[in-house]
Copies of this chain bind each other. A is one copy, B any other.
Amino acid sequence: MIQKTPTGTVLYTIEQTIKEYRKICQRNIQKIADDITVDQCLVLIILNDNTTISQIDIAKLIFKDNASVTRIIELMVKKDYLTRETDELDKRKSKLIITEKGKKTIVLLAPVFKLNRKTALNGLSLDEIELLDKILHKIISNCKTS
């Protein structure tokens, strides 16, 4: 199954790629805040841009299960990056509010995320990146409609 041709291996290369990328992300993030993970950072940035977003929509944005998002947020509350209140308009929902610590962290994180992307995509042309994106979306659509 692990063959030499890209046809047999490219899907594993995709997995390898994202793992290597997450490694440099985590490394660079830890220089700034050593009690936060890549996924927690993503949630923080999403909440910063969408203050009223629901957990379900967060899950969709970062391709995670609702259960995972619940637990990620739980830890972020514990670490004082977020506070959580019941939404009075719809009591099933939570209002997630970024704390001062969270806000400070976001300011520090922005350049790190930019650098991570720049590092990973270094030497690739815009055309190549667009093509990569196109091919990946084709694979996603193949999997979803199967």
Contacts and interface: CB of A to CB of B under 8 A. Distances in A.
Interface in A18-55: 18-21, 23-24, 42, 45-46, 49-50
Nearest to A5: B61
Interface in A131-146: 131-133, 135-140, 142-144, 146
A126 interface: yes
Contacts of A63: 12, 15-16, 19
A122 to B, nearest CB: 5
Contact of A120 (B17, B122, B133, B143): B143
Contact of A14 (B14, B24, B138): B14
Given A11-B18, A12-B62, A131-B135, 6 more contacts: A8-B61, A10-B129, A19-B63, A21-B143, A122-B142, A124-B135
